[in-house]
Amino acid sequence: MKDEELTDVQIKEIKNRENINKAYGDAANYLSYQLRTKKEMKDYLFKKEYDYPTIDAVLKKLMDLNYLDDESYANSFINTQLNTTVNGPKIIEQKMIQKGVPSLIIQDKMDQIDEDRLIENATNFAEKQARKQRRASFQQQMTKIKQSLYQKGYSGDVINEAISNLDLEKDDDTELDNLRKMVGKVSRRYDNQSKLITYLMGKGYRYDDIKQVLNENEND
């Protein structure tokens, strides 16, 4: 008795299974480097030119095995961001949106972040920024620190708490020393005193302090 030939339907089913197995292998390799979101995996398989039924089958299998779990991904991502970066909540949230984490999961996980941890991270970052700005006027130093924290995604309340933790106080002698250095550095750029004064006030120095330093230079 001759072996029965496979029908077109059977051949198609075999090819589909082979395709799913191949796609699953690609997915497993993609996961071997780091955790992925469902959206990332779907986009990856689509770029590998798998059809939607194959992609859906692979995604289902991965989720059934807990290899794809957006909640676990969000937990891991937030912990990594808090432990290894200076990013605040807004930046972390934006990054998760880009990764395709569902908005409800993002909101739930962001609400669970310990505010004390955010304040600690923000304070450490603010300390570094304060050191970078130590030659600036006190006003500009404070402005730059706040701007840097805001750009990293921290809220106004956390920013204020972090700056308060630094115990920064204006020192008049330091302020005048920094101003003298600034005047010595930039005075040659300006052909009249009023323009120089405007520039220095834009850098956060007080008018009276500027006049005092300029008068010192005239008397030298």
Query: In total, how many domains does the chain have?
Result: 2
Residue 4: count other Cβ atoms within 10 Å of its Cβ. 7
Q: Which of 92, 202, 213, 154 is nearest to 146 (CA)?
A: 154
Considering the domain boundaries, does residue 51 fall inside one? Answer: yes
Is residue 35 domain-resident?
A: yes
d(CA 75, CA 101): 11
Domain assignment present for residue 123? The answer is no
Domain that includes residue 189, residue range:
171-220
Give, in order, the Cα–Cα distances in Å from 140 to each of 182, 204, 210: 13, 5, 15
Q: At a CB cut-off of 8 Å and minimum separation 6, what does 132 contact?
A: 144
- What CA–CA distance (Å, rounded) separates 42 from 48? 10
Q: Which positions ≥6 away from 156 have C-beta within 8 Å? A: none
The reply to whether 99 falls in a domain is no
pLDDT under 70: residue ranges of the chain:
1-4, 8, 219-220
Task: Tell me if 121 sits within 8 A of 91, measured CB to CB.
Answer: no
Entry pTM: 0.82
Q: Residue 62: inside a domain, yes or no?
A: yes
Among 68, 83, 106, which residue terminates a domain? 68
**Integer Cα distance of 172 and 126 in angstroms:** 22
Q: Which DSSP letter does residue 5 get?
A: P
Closest C-alpha among 144, 148, 146 to residue 203: 144
Residue 21 tokens read as: 């197995």
**122 residue type, one letter:** A
- The pLDDT value recorded for residue 7 is 77
Domain-terminating residue out of 68, 85, 108: 68
Per the domain annotation, does 75 fall within a domain? no
Q: What three-state secondary structure class fits 159? A: helix
- Please tell me the predicted confidence (pLDDT) of residue 1: 41
- CATH code where residue 54 lies: 1.10.10.10
Out of 20, 46, 68, a domain closes at 68
Q: Is 192 domain-assigned?
A: yes
Does residue 159 lie in a domain region? no
